[in-house]
Amino acid sequence: MNRTSIRIILFFIHYFLFTCMLFAQSNEQIFSRRITWQEDENVYRYAVEVDKMENGAFKSHLREYTTAVFFTLSLPAGEYRYRIVPHDVLDRPIRGMQWVRFEIRPPAESEQKEKKEPNPRYNTLGISAGSSFIDPLIAATIHGSFSPLKYLFIQAGADIGFISAFEEVDSFYSLYPFFNIGCFLPINANIGFYAEAGAGFQYSSYIVSEKETEISIFAFNAAAGVNLWNMINVQYTIKTNFSEVNHLASIGYVYRFKEKKK
């Protein structure tokens, strides 16, 4: 490996470390603290000096000048001290005030702005629509769920079919009330995955050439989906009576009830 290659590698290492350092600093939480002092008409301007405690000793952290009698500090959490040094009309420092020590702490959790924590309970009311590609070709689902425990929910609902995939069918409708048990896994405050399984009883009515045919079957179903922004469900469902399989892809609106705080 020649010297040029080594220099390029060292450059990228330094660049990576420097970028990481800037990223860490940019993500450091900053707090504001306003300091004030009495005005002196004979003073040209004031020097604001701030030291920060590091490794058991105060080290210079900030030096700024102002003509006002207040200054807003923007500092990360830590232990500090400050003093105000007046300057005369010749811009010479006059004996300033004594050092004043202070500490900046992050506010207590109860005082912080409430964070959006994932809600592990899936209490909902919703409606969705989708296609099963076979009968029913278009179906709407009305459902509601109750979450007795975290990450666990019980759901009841009904699929209502409107359109048949068979062209010779003059009229068609179906009804499939179901009862499911499922689990809900929130990823963050806006995204959660869920899976559920259960059973139901489907009733279908076909009218072909003014002749009605009714079909009733008991079926099992399983579904998996994702809840987005606590109001949109995208779901895939499989329904079977062990002789035929029906697939349903759907999207819909769901209202999630907020968890009551204790």
| Domain locations in the chain as residue ranges | 30-113, 124-256
pLDDT, one tens digit per residue, over 206-232 is 788 778 788 888 989 899 999 999 999
Q: What percent of the chain has pLDDT over 90?
A: 42
Largest CA distance in the chain: 107
Which has the closest alpha carbon to 219: 236, 235, 243, 195? 243
Report whether 241 contacts 216 (CB < 8 A): no
Instruction: Determine the CATH number of domain 124-256.
Output: 2.40.160.20
Dist CA 192 CA 216 (whole Å): 35
Rounded to 5 degrees, φ, ψ at 151 are: 70, 0
* Most confident segment among 153-157, 234-238, 248-252: 153-157
83 confidence band (pLDDT: 50, 70, 90) = very high
- Residue spans of beta strands (DSSP E) within the chain: 30-36, 45-54, 57-66, 70-76, 78-87, 100-104, 124-131, 138-149, 152-163, 171-186, 191-208, 211-228, 232-240, 245-256
**Residue 19: half-sphere exposure toward Cβ, Cα within 13 Å:** 6
CATH architecture for residues 30-113: Sandwich (2.60)
Q: Between these two residues, 259 and 10, which has the higher pLDDT value? A: 259
Residues near 223 by beta carbon (within 8 Å), at least 6 away in sequence: 180, 182, 195, 196, 197, 235, 236, 237, 238
Q: Between these two residues, 2 and 203, which has the higher pLDDT value? A: 203
Summary mean pLDDT of the chain:
82
Buried b (16+ CB within 10 A) or exposed e, 190-208: eebebebebebebebebee
Is the pLDDT reported for residue 3 higher than 70?
no
pLDDT at 171: 83
Dist CA 145 CA 78 (whole Å): 48
- Tokens representing 100 are 């004043």
pLDDT, one tens digit per residue, over 19-67 is 445 444 544 578 888 999 988 888 999 999 999 999 999 999 999 999 9
pLDDT at 252: 93
pLDDT at 202: 86
- The single-letter code of the amino acid at 176 is Y
* Mean pLDDT calculated for residue range 7-17: 50
Residues near 137 by beta carbon (within 8 Å), at least 6 away in sequence: 131, 161, 162, 163, 164, 165
Residues near 192 by beta carbon (within 8 Å), at least 6 away in sequence: 118, 122, 184, 185, 186, 226, 227
C-beta pairs of 239-247 under 8 Å, 24+ apart in sequence: 239/176, 239/200, 239/202, 241/217, 246/132, 246/134, 246/135, 246/219, 247/132, 247/133, 247/134
174 confidence band (pLDDT: 50, 70, 90) = confident
Report whether 65 contacts 46 (CB < 8 A): yes
152 confidence band (pLDDT: 50, 70, 90) = very high
pLDDT at 173: 81
Is the pLDDT reported for residue 162 higher than 90?
no
* Mean pLDDT calculated for residue range 240-258: 86
pLDDT at 116: 59
